[in-house]
Amino acid sequence: MSGLLALLDDVAGIAKVAAASVDDIAGQAAKAGAKAAGAVIDDAAVTPKYLTGFEPARELPIVWRIARGSLINKLVFLLPAGLALSAFAPWLIAPLLMLGGAYLCFEGAEKIAHALGFGADHGGPDGSHLNTDPAHLEEEKIKGAIKTDFILSAEIMTIALSAIPTSTFWIEAATLATVAVGITLAVYGAVALIVKADDLGLLMAAKGRLGLTRAVGRGIVAAMPTFMKLLMIVGTAAMLWVGGSIIVHGLAEMGWHAPEEVIHHYAVALANLGPDTWRGALEWSGKAALDGILGLALGVVLIPIGTKLIAPLWHRVFNRG
């Protein structure tokens, strides 16, 4: 009996450790996912464009196939690569993170340039769409979306990896896997809701029994174009803010603290102009705005490099045949 009680006590101890580990994984995954907000919003904002021109019945199957490709990107390719970096070359994480931040800045600045009428929208590295066969076009769009997702997923996983405190191999692996699955479900669940919202609105407007139901349906249909534009604006702002923040933090880690100190100084000065109850929010807003301005400036510099050099090279390598 004493042996059985000792065994049960050991099992209870193991269960407590396991529960604590699960809590740690969930907490670290939530923090790491929050750090990747800019890339996540960009992913949700970019993906719906790949569904343009398809029959409503094909939208959800296409979203599912892109989501499955995104999970493969994260779990099969990027998760092992991230763990290898953490174990054997942790010094590479900060430069890679800054490279992802620079890409966010480039994408954000390019979107603003297109909105102002400068340049041609290359639509991401998804190849040409000259073939009008629906099945071929669907395959082409899905492949293009998965390629674009790989870039965004690499940013998300690198940002998440940098936000995870040093721990055991299995805790890091479980945390990254949780981030990968959670963010993929969140992004593509949101995409599915977005692309089907107008269909839901039409159904409510046409078949709603109550006048209020029909009115809400018409409101959803009317609001979706504005919502999509707002989503793009929020996504662009988030890209510039997060990208600029990553660059500033990376420079500080590499020994150049001046940009971080200057931004912190002006953010605190802005916070001191308002009441004490708003000081934290004002300081955060000031820092985010200055990070975004820096991100925009860097992105403008990177536009000719990205469009004239990197994008043509990408198309040549990944769109042969």
Q: Is a pLDDT exceeding 90 seen at residue 297?
A: yes
Rounded CA-CA distance 188/2 in Å is 53
Q: Is the pLDDT of residue 256 over 60?
A: yes
Which residue is listed with tokens 């209870």? 12
**Phi-psi category of residue 127: left, alpha or beta, with phi > 0 → left and psi -120 to 50 → alpha:** left
Average pLDDT, the chain: 79
End-to-end Cα spacing for the chain: 72
Could you give the CA distance from residue 32 to residue 86 in angstroms, rounded to a whole number? Answer: 15
| b/e map 266-276, b = 16+ CB within 10 Å | ebeebbeeeee
Q: How far apart are CA 149 and CA 261, in angstroms?
A: 34
> C-alpha angle with apex 127: 124 to 128, nearest 5 degrees?
115
137 vs 166 pLDDT, higher one: 137
Residue with tokens 């923090």: 31
* Each residue's pLDDT tens digit, 200-254: 898 899 988 888 999 999 999 899 888 878 877 887 888 888 889 889 988 998 8
Token digits for 73? Answer: 């990107």
| Residue 254, amino acid | M
